[in-house]
Structure formats: structure tokens, C-alpha cells
Amino acid sequence: MLKASFQLNRSLTNSHIKYVIARGFGSSWAEDFNKASGKICGDAPFNESANRLRELCKTDLVKGTDIRDAPDRFFKAHRILARHAVNAGPGFWVRFTVHYNLFAGTILGVGSDEQVAKLADYQKNGQLGCFALTEKLAGVQSGLVVQTTIEWDEGAQKFILNTPNEGARKNWISQGFTADKAVVVADLLVGGKSMGPHAFVMDFRRDGKLLPGISVDDMGRKTVGNDLDNAWIHFDKVELDKSAMLSKYAEINDENEYVLKTKGIRPFDMIGQRLYTGRIAVGQSALEYRRHIFKKTKEYSDNKPIFSFSGNRVLSSIPQLAAIYEENDEKLRDIDAFILSCEASLSDSIRSGATPSPKLVEAIATCKVKAVEESIEMCFRLKQEVGSYALIDDAGFGNMDFLQACKFAEGDSRILMQKMARDRFKQFVSTGGAGEDFTAEETKFCSKLGANIAASASKGVDKLQAWENEWRLVYKLAEAVMARVQANWDHGINDESCA
């Protein structure tokens, strides 16, 4: 693996080398941001935590348009906040990424020029946003389903936002008790016909009070991150102006007709691109948390004397602990370089206005899953080897559920792996495994999956149930897919990175 990491780093293109240098130029910015965000307290009431983010917004150290204009700064801010999460917990990190990536990023991605321009006003005024997408019956494990409706009322020239049933309530909405604004994703109905999920920006609170027709309640106390408010939201026929629809790619025209403004681009596909920036940010933050907790632990174990008949020894010299430190360093080199390359390719795509290619999308999903799952494994194993130190409050192990949040944020690991396996299996079936660069492992698992599903079908089992029955094999196939993607990723910005 060490050899692979050296090969990986040598394969970085000149474009990526320039990108790496560019990431380092803002050392004074990083110091300023670290100082401005250094007052985070995981025990703070959520209103106090929200006010800290308002203050941070007003500094202009990170702007709502940075995803497009300064993506390196956007990603670096997430990494810095992840270091704070070791001791302060993940609450503020989540609050930050919801506001900047999901709320502001969606407006930037699918909003009109006028709507994007308002981001500067929100920032100046310290107004925070939430992102209302997930619903009670459509959480991270069930995939994306949107039952919340928003109907165009031609007579009133208004949109009517409604929660038709309890299962359609927006669920686990971070910043739901403190946000001034909201981006809401709802099924758009025009003339009684569904146009699919679309995004709308709305006032959520005015002078600290919810708008009429909006009700919220608390999701309950969490294991970590209780400085972050999480709410369910119910809309009862809330009226929104025509201007609420994020209208870069679609709008309701003067004839009350739904119009796609760019042929071949569905607004919801562009909303989904915030998941790509989010997956990079989540993966990198999991790595940063892991890096920091390993660093703190090693500093402790390097200076912790232990009894020995053969002279002075420290805890770090215990073979199993020395081995896990070495293993972690080696694995971090590989995944760091992979995710950096994906970040650079995605940033290049965003700057050019291009849509990320399927190859890049798959690589981003892979690096997110690998970074998070590997970090969970390595941090848990480290915890088992350091004795009572793991129980010390400021050691950071008590906030390891930050990694649990990373696991399901911006695409649950299991859902992403299901998609990887399903897509690869479909390719195998359609081509017989020919011409698709299948590895031996992929071919083995696809062949076995096909045989097992066929055997189940002969017994009257439908295909979906047969697929679920083979879940162990499905995840083995996904692991094989990710291994191929990471091994074959060229780590370069090229024509295949964008479409």
C-alpha cells in the first residue's frame, strides 16, 4: 500500500500541483478562520451556537459563493472545523455545512442571478439558512422521496406549500429552531400535474418568529452535538411569492406555464450537485477528525511511561499501538491523495460550470465512503489500545459519533454502496462483463449475484426481494467497485472529469 501511495502522489498532474500550492497560499486566512471559529463550545445552548455562526458569517472569511469562487477555502474551512470537533463535538461543523453548502450552495447552484445576489445580504445581516429536504418516511436509509407539495395557484399568483401527511414532515432539519431563511425541496404541482421536486427559498422566521403555517418540534437529545438544533417541520398551506422558486433552470412564465429554461437539465439534478461538494467536505472532515485524534493520542502515549524490566519505555512502544500508528499513517497517505485529487477535479468542474462526469461522481462517492468507514474503523481500534486514556473527557473519543454523522451525511454509506453495486451489476448483465474493465473480483461477485438471483426467480421470488436477499454479496461487489475506482483513478483533471 505504501508503494501505491507513492505512485498515487507521483501521478498528480500539473493542474493538481498548482491546486495544492493554491490551497497553501492562504495561511494567514487559515489562521484568521481558526481564530474566529476557536470559541466553539459543544455545551453551548443552540441559540448561542447559532449566534456564533452569525458572527462568523459577518466576518466574510467564508462567503456564500465560495463553493464557486473559492472552493479551496470552502473545503479548508470544513477541515479546520473538523479539528475543533474532536473536543467540541460536531454540532457547529454541521451547522456550518448546512448553511454554506446546502442552503447557500443550493441557491448558488439553481438560483437566478438576483437570488444569488441576495446571499451577500444574508451574510451581511448574519441571517442563517436551513435546508429542508429529508422527510419522516424518506430518510437516509430509504433513498430520496419527496411528498411535501408546493402547488402553483394561478388565481392568487402564489405557491402553496403543504405537508400532506405526517410522513411528509421534513425531518432532522439542522438549524430548524434558529434559521431565518430556508431552502425547501417540494414536489411542484402545476395545473394538477407533478413537475417533480424543485427548490424554493423562503423566509422561515421574521424577527425570530416562525411564519404563519409553519410548525416545528425538537428531534430530541443526541449522543453528541447538542449545541445544534434539529427539528421536524410541518407546513400548513404556507403561501410563497412567485419569486421563491429558484429559477435558474425552470420557472412559471407569465402564461402560468411551467418552463424548463435549459434543455436537458432538470433542476433537481442540479440540486443534487450539492451532495458532491458535501461528500468531499464530509470525507475530508472525517479524515481531519481522525488525524487530530491520532495526533493527540500519540502525543500522550509518547510521553506516558510504562513499567519495563529492560529500561525506560513509553506507551507508544507497545507493539500493537506502534503498529496501528504506522498503519494509520500509511492509509492516510493513500486516502488523502485520492480525496484531494477528487476535490481538485470537482473544483475545476464547478469553476467551468460543467456537470461532473459519471466517472468523477463515482470517484467522489468512493472517497466519501472509504474516508468515513476507514476513519470509523481506525479510531475505534485506537480507542481499544490506549486504556483509561480513552475515558478522559478532552481525549476526544467521547465525540466519535461525529464519524457516525459523517456516515449518513450527504449520502449514507450503505445507499451509496447499493448504487455502486447495482450500476456495476447492470453493466455486467448488459455486456456480459466484456469491454467494461471488470476486475476479477467484480466478475466473480457479479456472476454469483446473477446466478443466485436467477435461482430465486425460478422459485417465484421477485427481483427486488432476490436482490435484498443477497445483500452480503451486494456489499462485497461494492467494495470491489470502490477498490477498482480508487486504483484506476488517474488523479488528473481531464476531459473525463466533466461533461
Q: Which residues share a beta bridge with 181?
A: 129, 203
Give the model's pLDDT for residue 8. Answer: 43
- Residue 407 has a pLDDT of 93
Whether 442 contacts 477, CB under 8 Å: yes
* Residue 245 CB contacts under 8 Å (≥ 6 apart), including other chains: 159, 188, 198, 199, 200, 251, 252
Tens-binned pLDDT, residue by residue, of the chain (499 aa): 333 433 444 344 444 444 444 444 457 999 999 999 888 888 899 999 999 999 999 999 999 999 999 999 999 999 999 999 988 889 999 999 999 999 999 999 999 999 999 999 999 999 999 999 999 987 654 456 899 999 999 999 999 999 999 999 999 999 999 999 999 999 999 999 999 999 999 999 999 999 999 999 999 999 998 999 999 999 999 999 999 999 999 999 999 999 999 887 888 777 877 889 999 999 999 999 999 999 999 999 999 998 887 778 999 999 999 999 999 999 999 999 999 999 999 999 888 888 889 999 999 999 999 999 999 999 999 999 999 999 998 899 999 999 999 998 888 899 999 999 999 999 999 988 776 689 999 999 999 999 999 999 999 999 999 999 999 999 999 999 999 999 999 754 444 544 4
What residues contact residue 108 under an 8 Å CB cut-off, 6+ apart? 64, 65, 67, 68, 116, 119
Q: What is the pLDDT of residue 26?
A: 56
384, HSE (Cβ side, Cα atoms, 13 Å) = 8
Phi, psi for residue 89 in degrees, rounded to 5:
85, 175
Please state whether beta strands 158-162 and 170-174 pair in parallel, antiparallel, or not at all (unpaired).
unpaired
- Phi/psi of residue 134, nearest 5 degrees: -65, 145
pLDDT of residue 318: 93
What is the number of alpha carbons within 13 Å of residue 62 lying toward its C-beta? 28
Nearest CA-CA partner of 9 in 230, 272, 339, 329: 339
Beta-carbon neighbour count of residue 433 at 10 Å? Answer: 17
Distance between CA atoms of residues 330 and 332, nearest Å: 5
Helices (H) and strands (E) in the chain, counts: 18, 15
Please tell me the pTM assigned to this model.
Answer: 0.88
Rounded CA gap, 229 and 218, in Å? 7
Q: What is the DSSP letter of 245?
A: B
Cβ burial 95-124 (10 Å sphere, 16+ → b, else e): bbbbbbbbbbbbbbbbbbeebbebbeebbe
CA distance 485 to 367: 9
CA distance 100 to 33: 15
**DSSP 8-state code for residue 337:** H
Set of cell numbers at residue 242? 412567485
Q: Which residue spans within 244-352 are E strands per DSSP?
A: 250-252, 258-260, 305-306, 313-314
The SS3 of residue 338 is: helix
Residue 139 pLDDT = 61
**pLDDT value for 285:** 93
455: helix, strand or coil: helix
What is the dihedral sign for C-alpha 84, 88, 94, 95?
Answer: negative
Compute the chain's Rg from CA coordinates: 24
Q: Which of 368, 168, 207 is nearest to 286 (CA)?
A: 368
**406: its cell numbers:** 459523517
pLDDT at 128: 98
Rounded to 5 degrees, what are φ and ψ at 9?
-70, -35
pLDDT for residue 435: 66
